[in-house]
Structure 1
């Protein structure tokens, strides 16, 4: 994630800022430019002028009405939803203040997710564009009956997020109940969208064999694997080959967990770069804990550069957290097999951003068309 600067007064801004605390300008995110811009009413009174490019006639996403989004629509659009919110399906009951507040928290995490997806230029289709597999989010509240508990999950492009996860106390209760070292709203979004991109970038792009060579055979029965995981738990030596205990359950979950961690790593390193952070402890006599993030982790092709920066950086972050009496900020171990899996995800993302995945998808479409012609 980047830091931003107010075009009116040069104040440093954060992604979620709605108003500049220094000059009072209203702020809006321009997804097509990945810029947070100060805005002013347009001279003709129709929409807003963005100070980032002095263009007029820009409008907010419809969800700005609920203080759930500060993204602008595409240039030339005067109504509807932004690039992130057009993927929404069911939202909570906004007449309920508690559900409205929870939904706003979910939207903060979702917009951070879309910042990354848009930066990489990953293929994103709405349910309107692809009725069978377009990406769509349903934010659902538990029913009044305690047995009507919503479960977060993914099903063929449909991602369900339990509104209860927006409650810090409930999320912590579930984290402890499931023995997890880490559980956040953003982590949920990144994990579940990993399932969606397994479909798009692996299954539909002809990468199944390559993925299975790294993550294992995904054709094994998912239901049986799930039951086995909850009955027996992870293997005793799971940390040697998996980023989390849940990743051991099935290759699909291993991929989704690895995908989520890849997004954690890249976005965190970008923020470290924005702050000019450097890790160079005088006590490190052999150089293994020295790192300086002087590259764009979203664009760099060599994944080894990312890992080389990440490992010392997380050691420093965890040490600072412990000094505050808090849990490790990144309580995970990246072994060589796990790094290899992260590298696989890195290549998928980089290929997709450069259009290579679209080429593969196009070739597969042509093959299916030829096959249909032969069969017809």
Structure 2
């Protein structure tokens, strides 16, 4: 994630900021140029990008304090590039609204990466059969407020469902522990589930599909049987040598989605490190030297990303431990996983070139 600058006073501003802390200017993120802008009143009850830029208005969800994105004043869309993909949102009560705010923050972070890579993102209006759409689902509760049936997080033909209750830390953490997972987050859910969506969007021609099956396996394998086997028998003993996570070992489709999510984790965090000028140079430990001098979103291969990522992630984990916190990145990138990441990175960049 990049750092941004208030065009009115020069203050550093951050992706999720609503107001500049120095001059008080309203801030809005514009998908068209992937930039957080300072805004000024246009004198007619609307807004313009400061000091003398285009007229704009906030996404309609700004009325719920859910979104800080803007759209051009002449846009036919009431919602921003991210929110226009939503179908079901949890707005029925204050708790649901607070969950939506947390979910929306993670969703916009996902869309930042989608926009940076210029990835296809058809809505259901544009592609009724497979366009990208989100349902944020509530659990089924009894009269006493106890969960009868938990909503499911998953993907099917472009529809991504997310259990809204996972916006609550205690719910998400309890699931993480119960599932024996080292990492679980709303942003991680979004990145993983869009991996399933982008398989269908990007793995299309015969040569690409052949290479994908060589790396990940045949996605036509019986999915229900594979997951049942995973939950009953556990992952294969050698999974750390071949997969990024135990869940990735359950089925080729999950392997691709997990690797897709990790590429987004790595690229976006490296961009953040670059924005802050972070580098590692521990004396006497040259193998942990790293400096992000390139744009991770334009890296030609995963090798360059991993070369910078491993030292940085080791340093982040050490800092977390010093604070008594879990590792930020509790994963190991084996050579087969790096090869999978490289394949996905090439997929992304081919898509970007086609969209120019």
Task: Flag whether TM exceeds 0.5 (same fold).
Answer: yes
Instruction: Look up the match of 1:41.
Output: 41
Matched, 1:241 2:238: no
Secondary structure of 2:141's aligned partner: coil
Say which of 103, 111, 116 aligns to 1:106.
103
CA distance in 1, matches of 2:325, 2:55: 47
Check the 8 A contact 1:42/1:56 in 2, yes or no: no
Instruction: Look up the match of 1:126.
Output: 123
- By how many angstroms is 1:352 displaced? 0.6
CA distance in 1, matches of 2:206, 2:29: 32
CA distance in 1, matches of 2:318, 2:77: 48
Structure 1 stretches of 5 or more lacking a match? 360-376
- By how many angstroms is 1:324 displaced? 1.2
Q: TM-score, normalised by structure 2?
A: 0.96
- By how many angstroms is 1:271 displaced? 0.2
CA distance in 2, matches of 1:233, 1:193: 25
CA distance in 2, matches of 1:78, 1:135: 19
Check the 8 A contact 1:89/1:138 in 2, yes or no: yes
- By how many angstroms is 1:177 displaced? 0.1
- By how many angstroms is 1:140 displaced? 0.7
Check the 8 A contact 1:30/1:71 in 2, yes or no: yes
Check the 8 A contact 2:55/2:72 in 1, yes or no: no
Is the alpha carbon distance of 1:71 and 1:177 closer, same or farther for their aligned partners in structure 2, counting shifts above 3 Å? same
Instruction: Look up the match of 1:151.
Output: 152
CA distance in 2, matches of 1:182, 1:205: 34
Is the alpha carbon distance of 1:248 and 1:14 closer, same or farther for their aligned partners in structure 2, counting shifts above 3 Å? same
Is the alpha carbon distance of 1:23 and 1:6 closer, same or farther for their aligned partners in structure 2, counting shifts above 3 Å? same
- By how many angstroms is 1:330 displaced? 0.4
CA distance in 1, matches of 2:340, 2:293: 24
Instruction: Look up the match of 2:188.
Output: 187
Superposition pairs of residues 46-195 of structure 1, within 5 angstroms: 46-51=45-50, 54-74=52-72, 76-77=74-75, 80-92=78-90, 94-145=91-142, 146-195=147-196
Aligned residue pair count: 352
Matched, 1:31 2:31: yes
Instruction: Look up the match of 1:21.
Output: 21
Matched, 1:219 2:217: no
Deviating beyond 6 angstroms after TM superposition, the runs of 4 or more aligned structure 1 residues are: none
Structure 2 stretches of 5 or more lacking a match? none
Structure 1 stretch displaced more, 301-310 or 214-223:
301-310
Secondary structure of 2:70's aligned partner: coil
Instruction: Encode CA deviations 1:201-259: one digit per residue, 9 max, x unaligned.
Output: 11478621110011111111001001000101111221000000000000000000000
Check the 8 A contact 1:46/1:57 in 2, yes or no: no
- By how many angstroms is 1:147 displaced? 2.9
Instruction: Look up the match of 1:320.
Output: 319
Secondary structure of 2:297's aligned partner: coil
CA distance in 2, matches of 1:79, 1:214: 40
CA distance in 1, matches of 2:205, 2:101: 33
Is the alpha carbon distance of 1:290 and 1:17 closer, same or farther for their aligned partners in structure 2, counting shifts above 3 Å? same
CA distance in 1, matches of 2:99, 2:114: 23
CA distance in 2, matches of 1:291, 1:57: 42
Instruction: Look up the match of 1:282.
Output: 283
